[in-house]
Structure 1
Amino acid sequence: MNIFKSHFWYNKSQRNGILLLGIFIIILQIFIFTDPFSKDEIINSETPELIVFQQQVDSLKLLEIENRKPKIYPFNPNYITDYKGEQLGMSIDEIDRLLAFRKTNQFVNSKEEFQKVTQISDSLLAKISPYFKFPDWVIARNKQKESQKFTSTSKSSNTYQNKSSYTKKTISTSDINKATAEDFKTINGIGPAFSKRIIKYRSKLQGFSYKEQLYEVWGLEKEVADKVLSVFKINQKPILKKVNVNTVEFKELLKNPYIDYELCKKIFNYRDEVAELQNISELKNIKDFPLELYDRIVLYLLAE
């Protein structure tokens, strides 16, 4: 009993100390739970500063989302793969229709033909068609159809002028590669604009090697082109500047009037695979190579 008494018996000063300690602990607990210095401040989120700040944050979020979206670069829709089609938002059936069409060795040459083959919606066509990149000769042919009304009007005007003041004109040469703008203007239906356009395209080709190349001149109707070819011939084929397909640079190869970006990339990939083309005819081994343009493409290429 003395043992317990020794542990629980305190003198007056000790009891006062214990009492003060208890009071201090109680006060501390009240202070912690009530926190008299804290105030629930209500922040006004409608202040002009906060509104401007929130708008800036939202614009940065939208910019980040836009930057994360895959970029779309110009491409030839004839060479769309499963992965590319999925990126563009095409369904599997739409991609399969295009691939089946391409297996028949045919090409779509306009956004209307692309929609007809794939059966994509108007909204998706409007979204991706601005990125379509067709070869120059395809673009020229498409624009020719669009300009038929304008050409018809010009033709009527030229016909009226010829009837009102017609004088027989002579030509300086019958060689289409040497003919001048004045020579071409002797053909009914060829005015200053078309004569300059023919010469400009002839310069791009370094001269006409095939008479059919005249039909590639933008806006020139087949009937008018036939009249030109009835007067002017290819008396002597031009001497074209050829480049070595094994050493040519990418930008230089793109100058070929019949090679677009996608085909240029395929040629370079094939060149990397085989190390060196032994014969220019090896281009036909490239997957999806446009065989119908082979004779014109190789006019400007050689393999050495």
Structure 2
Amino acid sequence: MNIFKSHFWYQKGQRNGIFILIILIIIFQFIIVFVDFSPEEKVNIYAPKVMSFGYQIDSLRKINLENRKPKIFPFNPNYITDYKGAQLGMSLVEIDKLLAFRKTGKFINSKKEFQKVTTISDSLLNSISSYFKFPDWVVKRKQNMQLSTSRDTRLFTEKSKYIVTSTDINLAVKEDLKTINGIGEKLSERIIKYRSKLQGFSTPNQLYEVWGLGTEVVVKLLLVFKVVKLPNIQKSNVNTVSFKKLLKNPYIDYELCKKIFNYKDEVAELQDISELKNIIGFPIDLYDRIVLYLVAE
């Protein structure tokens, strides 16, 4: 009984305050339960303003999704890697076909040729070909080929009754080359001299590197002469070659030669010739031609 009494030991004013507090709590409970606080005017979700706001949200979501997608920048399709090909949507078989083609030392110079080599579908070609970026000389060659006419084609061999001794560009003599319209004594000598410097043409595209030989003339030349047999190039061991001998590589200048030797000093020995790509400032677009003359042993 004393336990219950202890709860009423408050003064009269305190007991009245507690009583009023209890009444207020009960009143608030009734208000919360029985009074409707929802607005009288209901929001119409199909109202023009509401729908416009919804459209804005949807458009912002789409922009956000587009920004999250990996961006594709212009690239040379000759240097597509396994990872890059997978990103573009190519299958492993299609990528392997491209890599096998590149190992032959040949280059792809058009989107049609890319599809022929890889056998990708028309839809995939259309979606990625807009990002293809070929070297400037390839673009110029295409423009010149489009401007050529059937009359130009007849001029390739109209120079004389001379019978060409060989259509292999690596075996052709000066007189053979001079049958092409636009090639005289000096240019034919220059082609043969450059061929000797290269130890033979490994790819027809190397003819575009001959100084003074215009794109239009090269196009005419390649309609008659081909690389029938690959040259037997004497390769140098990059790990033991001297600075002077490495500098004789037609695609290596003094600065690049220094970089290669500095890199060799860092790694002691190249295990694979592809390590050249690790050199800062190495011309990747010339890699396939540089390694025609080098090996890592």
Q: What TM-score, normalized by structure 1, do the two folds share? A: 0.49
Q: What TM-score, normalized by structure 2, do the two folds share? A: 0.50
Q: Which has the higher contact order (CA 8 A, sep 6+)?
A: 1
